[in-house]
A and B are shown apart, each in its own frame.
Chain A
Amino acid sequence: MKTNTLFALSLILLSPLAIAATPEYKLVISNHRFQPSEITIPANTRVKLEVVNEDKTPEEFESASLHREKIIGGLQTGIINIGPLSPGVYEFVGEFHEETAKGRIIVK
């Protein structure tokens, strides 16, 4: 009985961890452009951005407003943790091809 209660209690306590699995979003770099170039994410939530670089050349994901900079090698995938953020528009660029590689994250 006591172990059962403990078990039930731990399930209740741990369940938010299971439910609150970090949402993941995918961003593809192709021909030095981000696709999609706009991603909407929920406010005050931690999310994971999976950046798949389909180009053969490396790219540096950079965003001053997000406080992120990360090099993603050619044909490599990089994970970028984002947030929790307050609502707003956060722009990012691919520093190595800034004229074409632009995008933004909209936090709602």
Chain B
Amino acid sequence: MFGTAIIVFREVLEAALIVGLVLAATRDVAGRLRWVSVGIGSGIVGAILLALLADKVSTLADGMGQELLNATILSFAVAMLSWHLLWMRKHAMEISDKMKRVGAAVSSGDREPVILAIIIGLAILREGSEAVIFLYGIAAAGTNSTELFLGGAAGVLAGIAAGTVLYLGIARIPVGRLFQVSGWLIMLLTAGMASQAASYLVQADLIPALGYAVWDTSSLLSQNSIPGHVLHILVGYVDHPMGIQLLTYTLTIALLGAAIYFLNQQRDRVVS
């Protein structure tokens, strides 16, 4: 039961941390709870469907279907998170502008909650389907169903607990600084996902690795340890990164940084 719980926990953790971070970063987006529920619901349904289709997906693209699907889901999440990040930046400016002028809360745009739902749905889809495949597998092997249920439930609950802890931690940041802090966190999360997508493309043999271990810090902080794994999920920590991962990571941050800089410049021009 313990083994089952640990494996389910590892799969659920990734989705839970992403959901926790995104939820904390969007605390003031109006009507978000409805969309968050839509995201979680469709993520779970999608994860089950994907798990059922997994063997078919794997045989696609000369056996590289799984790699391509993972890379696609991650890239899509990167696009959505980037959009979200830039939108939050603009939103933050609008809020501080309006608060200065009228001291009133601002209602948010209608597109943003949809993006939120997609980001959450994608996170659950990818990791959830692995958890479902694993649980379905041990069920098929005839493991005692009580053990299966308890182990699975313990793993899911532990993952959700970790997401909640992250949420509460970020939620303690005062709203004034929230945009700044969560903006950085989301930028690193996005860069980490981009580098993970690149890693899947290397696995599918579509792009070169550019070196399998540019450096190795596994003796300092192993990616397999819990802190290492959490950092891997949140900021894309890899203990011995491939060259292409470093390249994708820095490029993502540079592009997003440039876009934010441009937005700031534009605003300064409008204000002055």
For B55, the chain A residues whose CB sits under 8 A away are 73, 76
Q: What's the A-B contact tally at a CB cutoff of 8 Å?
A: 66
Interface 0/1 of A64-77, CB less than 8 Å to B? 11111111111010
Q: Which of B100-108, B131-139, B146-154, B182-190 contacts A (4 or more CB under 8 A)?
A: B131-139
Could you tell me which A residues sit within 8 Å of B by CB distance? 46, 56-58, 60, 64-74, 76, 78-81, 85-86, 95-96, 99
CB–CB A71/B133 < 8 A: yes
Closest to B4 in A: A96
For A78, the chain B residues whose CB sits under 8 A away are 58, 63, 66
Cβ of B181 < 8 Å from any Cβ of A?
Answer: no
Could you tell me which B residues sit within 8 Å of A by CB distance? 3, 7, 54-55, 58, 62-64, 66-67, 130, 133-134, 136-138, 140-141, 199, 202-205, 209, 212-213, 218, 223-224, 239-240, 242
Beyond A68-B203, A70-B203, is A96–B134 a contact (Cβ under 8 Å)? yes
For A96, the chain B residues whose CB sits under 8 A away are 7, 134, 137
CB–CB A60/B130 < 8 A: yes
Q: Complex Cα distance A58/B55, Å?
A: 10
For B203, the chain A residues whose CB sits under 8 A away are 67-70, 80-81
CB–CB A70/B137 < 8 A: no
CB–CB B240/A65 < 8 A: yes
In whole Å, how far is A2's beta carbon from the nearest beta carbon of chain B? 37
Q: Complex Cα distance A63/B209, Å?
A: 15
CB–CB A70/B130 < 8 A: no
CB–CB A95/B7 < 8 A: yes
Q: A56-B140, A80-B203 are in contact. List 10 more A-B contacts (CB 8 A).
A: A58-B137, A65-B212, A67-B202, A67-B203, A70-B67, A70-B203, A71-B54, A79-B63, A81-B204, A96-B7
